[in-house]
Amino acid sequence: MLKKINFKFAAHAMIVTLSLVLVYHLTIITGLIPYEATWGGRLQNREQMLRFETVSIVVNLFILTVILIKGGYLKLKLPAIVLKVLLWAFAVLFALNTVGNLASTSVLELIIFTPLTAVSAVFCARLATEP
């Protein structure tokens, strides 16, 4: 089933998605999007938001780097098994994030990010299955 998804399409879609997510997190840090509308509506202050957003940006940059390597856009050498394990871990992370988004009190997270994380889980799984 996963092999029916074109590998390059999955890689490109994830690169675009992660790039947009990074922009989204930067808009939260800058205050263009109120932090109360993020993280399930559970953040209590700006300092807490900065910690969560910083971790999120670092994690998203790491995921993006792995996908750029797997897609052949970054010429860094990592063993294939390391890429496969990381991509499967990302698929699980996105699947769990989907469940978390379903429990969100933020309509934005529920409507936009629930399907986005679900599709990201599928695309990461597809990338993990490529030899």
Q: How far is residue 81's CA from residue 63's CA, in Å, rounded to a whole number?
A: 16
Per-residue model confidence (pLDDT) at position 78: 93
Per-residue model confidence (pLDDT) at position 60: 97
Burial class (CB in 10 A: 0-12, 13-18, 19+), 123: buried
Helix residue spans in 42-103 (DSSP H): 46-70, 80-102
Per-residue model confidence (pLDDT) at position 1: 84
* Tens place of pLDDT per residue across the chain (131 aa): 888 999 999 999 999 999 999 999 999 999 998 888 777 777 889 999 999 999 999 999 999 999 999 999 999 999 999 999 999 999 999 999 999 888 877 777 789 889 999 999 999 999 999 98
Distances (CA, A) of 79 to 1, 16, 55, 119, 123: 25, 25, 26, 26, 20
Single-letter code of the amino acid located at 98:
T
Q: How far is residue 70's CA from residue 102's CA, in Å, rounded to a whole number?
A: 30
Q: How far is residue 70's CA from residue 85's CA, in Å, rounded to a whole number?
A: 12
